[in-house]
Amino acid sequence: MKRLATIGGSPRIANAKGRPFAANPVLDVQLPSWRSRFVLFVLFLALLLLAGRAVWLQGISTNFLQKKGESRFARTLELPATRGKILDRNGQVLASSIPVRAIWAIPEDVKEAPKDKLRQLAKLLDMSEKELNKKLNSDKGFVYLQRQVESDVADAVVKLGIRGVQTKREYKRYYPEGSVMAHVVGFTNVEGRGQESMELMHHAMLAGVDGNRRVIKDRLGNIVEDMRAVREPKEGKDLVLSIDNRIQYIAHAKLKEAVETHKAKAGGIVVLDVRTGEVLALANLPTYNPNNRKLLTGPQLRNRVITDTYEPGSTIKPFVVALALEKEIVKPTSKIQTGSGKMKVGNATIRDAHQFETLTVEEVIEKSSNIGMAKMALQMQPQDMWEMFTTIGFGQQPRIGFPGAAAGRVRPYEAWRPIEQATMSYGHGISTSLLQVARSYMIFARNGDLIPLTFQKTATQPIGQRVISEKTAHAVRKMMEMAAGPEGTAPFAQVPGYRVAGKTGTTHKLANGRYVKQYVSSFVGFAPASNPRIVVAVMIDDPSGGKYYGGDVAAPVFSAVAANALRTMNVPPDSLKTHIVMPTKRVQESI
């Protein structure tokens, strides 16, 4: 083998043939020179694209990408505001919010959960496995499994450790008085929105404003970092009602007793404070339990005192007499011939329950004579009667802000026929709610003026609107005291130790435009008659136990409720009578 050498800087000899190393055919490149330049250009262009993409992602699209990233791990948690309490006038809690939990799930994450744990979950939530699976098979990213779950149940759900099943804090409304206060307080739905009565009327004030905060969660839904509080919750304000829980309880109990005793379809009662216009009690039957509304029906939900109208019957008579006195058509001692108990007006006949021959105006109210009322009414201008009815609020929606308050109906006086004017004088052909009638009686209890009603506690006495003179108010009050006395139509309205004044009402019900043998029995009165403090109105719908006159059915409820309310309010007695005085012969009102 020859030695390799370099002589005078000449190339090394690679082999015996003496060829240079660079001239090796293996190293001889046959590609064109432009190709290398093209590859270099492509690499440079790719570098520019990468640099541009980096600038786009890290500079221009930063906010967009940040939001996309946060959407995968950041969550906004709602911080529910505590709904305000509802209290009675003495601070008794009528509605409050208690902490509970909502059970929710991410269906995609729960699919791999063990079957036995899902069975346990269904059992804890009082659901069937079929119902649970239906919810978990949803294509939504989030589903509620159960709302308003008690804390101990929620804790047991958490202990199951099912991936994708989480809990969330929320509140449940609780009503300590249950069905007794249902139609006053109302209730909220599962979202905490007011649905009925005070909960609906004052929802904005009670609800407050929910807050929220931003957190970071891992893929299992666990909070790993608290980022920041976005908005603090604003708690709801408490609402203090005019209702007195003690009076409400006795009103509900006595109404229930009367409805059951007389096998009635329904009933209502309202108690008003004469000085302030505050509603001290309001109850309806049938009622419902706002804590458990699974079997709630329409008739249970109706607030009949405010939303239902009926023909008030003879409870209207004192207003027509008051108008006749104001117009000087009659005096309290004026005599009216009632004949044999029948009176023709056109082709129609007006009847009295008894034959009285001659009655004074005072006795017309005491004995509840339809004929006596018709004769007074027919001496008046229809417009005057219409103005009296509308002034005391009939035919107009009460301004109490209560959902569904009924206006009732008073037809325009221009269309009245003589028989219609006559029958309206004793409460036929006109419709009102029980609340409207109760408020209207304020003009007699307050010496002639009328004030607005309120369901909120107030310390101020409102300014009244003058409707009749004080002299007329006292005169009619005396007549109503006679009506609630031993010789009147409502001796059962008497309250031992107190003078009372009031008027019975008994009317046939309308069905398909015709009167049927079903009745609405009512009594409206106030006490003590010497210096009235409360107005109590009672209505019993369709009593079918044998008795149906207002003096027999509704008046005893007035007596029991008024007696308890006056003692509760520490109103001093104004009578020496210690027991109810009954007549030898009962006088029934005319229907």
Contact indicator for 480, 443 with CB cutoff of 8 Å: no
Locate the DSSP E strands across 218-323.
223-231, 239-240, 266-273, 279-285
522 flagged as catalytic: no
Of 96, 314, 368, 440, which residue is the catalytic one?
314
Distance, CA of 398 to CA of 407 (rounded, Å): 7
Q: Do residues 348 and 419 make contact, with C-beta atoms less than 8 angstroms apart?
A: yes
- Do the beta carbons of residue 229 and residue 76 sit within 8 Å? no
Q: Please give the structure tokens belonging to residue 97.
A: 């919010």
How big is the chain by its Cα radius of gyration, in Å? 41
Cβ pair 258, 540 in contact under 8 A = yes
CA distances from 456 to 129, 166, 250, 276 (A): 48, 41, 20, 11
226: three-class secondary structure by DSSP: strand
Per-residue DSSP letter, 217: E
d(CA 192, CA 172): 8
Q: What is the DSSP string of 484-517?
A: TSTTSS-GGG-BTTB--EEEEEEEEEEETTEEEE
Q: Minimal CA–CA distance to 239: which of 276, 267, 274, 203?
A: 203
Burial class (CB in 10 A: 0-12, 13-18, 19+), 590: buried
CB 522 within 8 A of CB 554: yes
Q: Is residue 466 within 8 Å of 485, Cβ to Cβ?
A: no
Neighbouring-strand partners of residue 213: 77, 229
Residue 95 zone, left/alpha/beta (φ > 0; ψ -120 to 50; rest)? beta
**Cα gap 425→343, rounded to integer Å:** 14
The neighbour count for residue 400, using CB atoms within 10 Å, is 17
Matching residue, tokens 């109503």: 480
Active site residues: 314
